[in-house]
Structure 1
């Protein structure tokens, strides 16, 4: 005789079991992740990557009571770009050199730390600092991609390594800076390196074992070998010359999103290698699948559809910027859409079921193209945009109208908030470019043999150039609703909430909150250190918190800083009624430009100039702004001493990530570089004295 189980098990225990089952299901079935349980389980909060939290306890009516509750110094300098993951009172995040931290949010203490011990010599293989954008969390495992190309699975309770797989050929300049994504029990990871000459791809690994399931290359390889699939065969028809010798590019170093109903994984691809199409594909061509959005079956790795935002990219206009999936009512019809604001300055709305372009409009100042043709989906380029017949001032530039910093979508207001910027730079043919001998493989320079086009943004065309902007964008009507002009172009990613707030960290060290309806600044706290990472919000024991992590760096931050000092990365967590003290304002550190007492040789300085820009200028400046993570060499006490040679040739500062160049530079060449640095510093010093007089 069957017994009624509900008569045997007490009602209270049944409720507990049901709640536990729901929570366990939500942890293993990430399609349920949406923030309603107070956790932040996925990189963009949910698979749609909206970064829109349903939490409303922090709102405009009480935000003046928002105060610092606690902080935790991570003890590491360099850039921190990670979105933390939060589950059941534990936060998981990454720092520079791909180090993973697990933090107890109740005791505010470190539970464990995992250092993958990335060799410091790998630091020079990345274009843009030794950053990492975070982990993925699935069941009892934490996944991290390391700067030197490994994918590692860790036990979420202990931080002990479960498995590790090498995802790249380490003899080539591949790196991993992006966060993994877990989809259908597979861990998806891409890589970077297009500036230095690699072929892009992304790979799916079994979440339990680490076994490779499939790999998708984003550009075709040597056509004398069999193509990996039909997509590569099709793509090869859009390339010319011997592109495969240069790698081709198209690296997948950031954006992904997933629609579980359509079972489609959306992936953004990167720029060409080298940047200039005239060099990698001399007879033209769209160069698929550079600067594209790819829709992939995550179970098989098969391409379902693609849309190329920048055909034949020649400007480093990647499409690896954050993508958001949502449903919008467009012309009276509900459409499943994918929205993106990539580097090239156009805001795209695509039908995510088939890749159809619905609309595309400029969201910042753009001069390389007039518009996007809605029938063909192609940009209408200005005739001089390819810089093959003239040098140009192009907007936006390689920093992009929007870069990796995540945007956020408030579905209550149907507004997208974009951490944007107005930028421009000089583009021209680098007539000296030789693959693998140019140091930084862009192929872009300034051709003195040809003229220039006056294409620079004017006050009439754009309010200013090289400024930051926080934009609220209406994706249905494709128009700006409001914007806030910012002094710096390199501000952090965004968070929005159901209480219609928008949070952002800034390059000058502030965490800010805006009214999402009108852009009014309603709250800020000065943390005294540049912020790149996006804020998140979550619940612990029923209390809503806002966390942001400071840590200045990244490609822009290597040369520039906007606070008095660059301090160690720190977790800062706020709540209503928080009483902890904010960090004190740091005094300016007064320094003089170097002026070593040695006889300056202008001939050696001239020889050193070329070497400096080839080997040093990627990270360093001379007598400009004090430098960023990498110091301004115009103020370096090592210049003009034996220590400089030991750093450059012997690797004295290799533990800090400063590479050694003993296989590329001679003692004589290092000496020439010092003459150039000293010449620059003295010239700047003399100019300053003249101005003061």
Structure 2
């Protein structure tokens, strides 16, 4: 199937509808069974890219620092919109654009891939891998994808249902496809692959749903599996894949963790040192989160919450450092890792740096894994400090919630820093961290039973839910913050901070033009001075931005690009903790250059209409419904049924939806939107209790609105 693309220079207001129509036509064609790839014919361009953004983190060290300085702190006020493209699916967008030879490649919701002319925005081709929509039930954190890898004219990317696909970068035609996971288990892929030598490296997600984590390498040419390294041990009765797994098994105390899987998924960050020939991968949380249930006799549970150094030629273990031994809090170490050379105590040291979820910033010798420093970059209550001699956090009393709930624990499972990339600016010696403070009350689920394919945290979500009492709720919400921390890794402290309206703000780019750029949850792309954090320029994107910006130069002009679109885990579960109200999703690729003056169409937000049926259910029914909601629904539909924006607010159910409630919740009537049926887990009475809770939430919202009106 071939379609002619518009010859327009820019995708501005007049051409936007045509661009969307083209994408929708391509999507329809793919779903109807025709060719999976649709190609738009364009005239060849004589322009060549001067400076590409060719890798996920810009370079193997993943610094996300560009030496381009045509756009700088003095003239960034003249930055304007050059072109934009509206994606067809209004769900979370987290991709880092890849820009090579005048083309820009991005991934969107449902693992769709888009190629554009980087100068004009003209769509060149589009690929839909046809991810089954009901696979969304196997995802912890939205139907997102963090980007593609590009190598010698070929595109590589992972899909939500665990496939690794290679495309021809010229026309989007498929070269090969491999299934990297067991389709009978709730694995997923949302992270971007990395290219190391002749191999493409990919991990997976799904720890809390019940899987065993690993990272795999495939041959670039044909997709043949080259090696696989498991991050946690399997059933000891089956033997061990290698000595590293045998060593790890000694740190898992009691229980049959392999029945659930153990967790430890490699769902995001990697980095590569070509001189040492070491591949660094970040390892995630346990399955379940709660070590009391996962490993009742204790133990560090290697290699959960660890940085692993592997030989990329054969996947063999070299060293590890565990940031959170015996993790019980979902403190993954999958967060962005950066390689750099720092002058520490007068000596140049080649280091790897990470700000994992647990709130401490780590600097390690990247050859040996030796801990050089570990200091709190966010609010931390679960530990007092990290002992440099042992490398272990010194935990506070009842941090492990063995004697009841913790009280408000910081960080919570969302982490002091999540997946949003940092940036290291060597000119100023600063690492810019997208920090957040969002607490959680941890409590053991005394009735825990493993549910295949569903959330299995081993924790009771009831104490963590926001209370209705206005005073208590306000006090809790005051502790929720979103910031940028300009961290000095040598001085081991922040040099300055920027506070946002709330948490879950975007990844970061820094440049030699003394710029630091970041998108915000409230819908702005902002340029700050990299040395002092002064606000210099902003653009209203009309939607929350969580993805990181990139920059490139073509034909002598520097551009800045960012994928905008509100989504991800906190956007789903955060509810009122997000602050500032619901952020709409208007998924867009935005490209800027100096002197441009493009405009987005006016944003029209439909008001939230809450018109519930009468409240007739008993208080007991509502309470049972709340418990079920926290067990099955909260991770997509938000705390207190307050939507964060990407998914409809359940307090605003229509009369028709109330009538169809059983068919939706039990029968999967809306499976095509990712809402599967839970008839194998819930009864009709359970569904009615859930509906009672949602009706109660709707009436509570109306009372709050009325109270606010009279104040």
Q: Flag whether TM exceeds 0.5 (same fold).
A: yes
> Which residue of structure 1 aligns with residue 585 of structure 2?
567
The reply on whether 1:381 has 2:395 as its aligned counterpart is: yes
Give, in angstroms, the shift of residue 583 of structure 1.
Answer: 4.3
Q: Is the 8 A contact 2:185 2:453 kept in 1?
A: no
1:31 is matched with: none
- Indicate the residue corresponding to 1:277 in structure 2: 291
In the other structure, the counterpart of 2:62 is 49
Distance 1:235 1:548, change over 3 A: same
Q: 1:464 to 1:627 in 2, by over 3 A?
A: closer
Residue in structure 2 matched with residue 266 of structure 1 by the alignment: 280
For residue 37 of structure 1, report the CA deviation from its aligned partner. Answer: 4.4
Q: 1:53 to 1:368 in 2, by over 3 A?
A: same
Q: Secondary structure at the match of 2:589?
A: strand
User: SS state of the match for residue 526, structure 2?
Assistant: strand
The 1:246–1:635 alpha-carbon spacing in structure 2 relative to 1, beyond 3 Å, is same
Mapped to 2, the partners of 1:435 and 1:284 lie a distance apart of 19
Partner in structure 1 of residue 182 of structure 2: 169
Shift of 1:630: 1.7
Residue in structure 1 matched with residue 19 of structure 2 by the alignment: none
Moved more, 432-441 or 188-197: 432-441
The counterpart of 1:359, out of the listed 366, 373, 377, is: 373
Displacement of 1:658 in angstroms is 1.6
Matches within 5 A, 1:425-436: 425-436=440-451
Aligned with residue 409 of structure 2, among 394, 413, 435:
394
Residue number among 639, 643, 646 corresponding to 2:660 in the alignment: 643
Paired with 1:548 and 1:228, the residues of 2 have a C-alpha distance of 42
The answer to whether 1:520 aligns with 2:534 is yes
Correspondence 1:432-451 to 2 at 5 A: 432-436=447-451, 439-445=454-460
Q: CA deviation at 1:647?
A: 2.2
SS at match of 2:436: strand
Matching of residue 116 in structure 1 with residue 129 in structure 2: yes
Distance 1:219 1:293, change over 3 A: same
Residue 96 of structure 2 corresponds to residue 102 of structure 1: no
Distance in 1, matches of 2:95 and 2:380, equals 29
* CA deviations over 1:501-546 (Å, ceiling 9, x no partner): 0000011110001111111111101111011110000012111000
> Is residue 534 of structure 2 the alignment partner of residue 503 of structure 1?
no
Contact between 1:528 and 1:586, CA under 8 Å: does it hold in 2?
no
Measure, in 2, the Cα distance between the counterparts of 1:597 and 1:284: 50
- Residue 669 of structure 1 corresponds to 686
Partners of 1:184 and 1:578 lie apart in 2 by 39
Aligned residues: 648
Asked whether the 8 Å contact 2:209–2:453 carries over to 1, the reply is no
Q: Structure 2: how far apart are the matches of 1:37 and 1:308?
A: 41
Q: Post-superposition shift, 1:61?
A: 1.1
CA contact (8 A) 1:621 1:634 kept: no
Post-superposition Cα deviations, 1:301-339, rounded to whole Å, max 9, x if no partner, equal: 111111001100110000000000011111111111001
SS of the equivalent of 1:284 reads coil
Matched, 1:329 2:346: no
Q: Say if 1:36 and 1:383 are closer, same or farther in 2 by CA, change over 3 A.
A: farther
Identify the residue that residue 133 of structure 1 maps to in structure 2: 146
1:298–1:609 distance in 2 versus 1, CA, 3 Å: same
Q: Which moved more, 1:553-562 or 1:244-253?
A: 553-562
CA contact (8 A) 2:381 2:409 kept: yes
CA deviation profile, 1:253-293 (whole Å, cap 9, x unmatched): 00000000000000000011111111101111010000000
2:642, 2:650 within 8 Å by CA — same for their partners in 1?
no
Q: Does 2:443 correspond to 1:424?
A: no
Q: Distance in 2 between matches of 1:688 and 1:87?
A: 51
Alignment of 1:173-184 (within 5 A): 173-184=186-197
Task: Report whether the alignment pairs 1:578 with 2:596.
Answer: yes
Measure the CA separation in 1 of the matches of 2:381 and 2:615.
48
Using the size of structure 1 for normalisation, the TM-score is 0.90
Equivalent residue number for residue 65 of structure 1: 78
1:612 equivalent to 2:625? Answer: no
Question: Does the CA-based 8 Å contact 2:528-2:535 persist in structure 1?
Answer: yes
Q: Tell me which residue corresponds to 2:36.
A: none
* Contact 1:501–1:516 (Cα < 8 Å) also in 2: yes
Which sits farther off after the overlay, 70-79 or 635-644? 635-644
SS at match of 2:353: strand
**What's the Cα RMSD here?**
2.3
* Structure having the higher Rg: 1
Distance in 1, matches of 2:531 and 2:647, equals 39
Q: How far, CA to CA, are the matches of 2:194 and 2:637 in structure 1? A: 34
Give the drift of 1:109: 1.0
Please give the alpha-carbon distance, in whole angstroms, between the structure 2 residues aligned to 1:640 and 1:82. Answer: 33
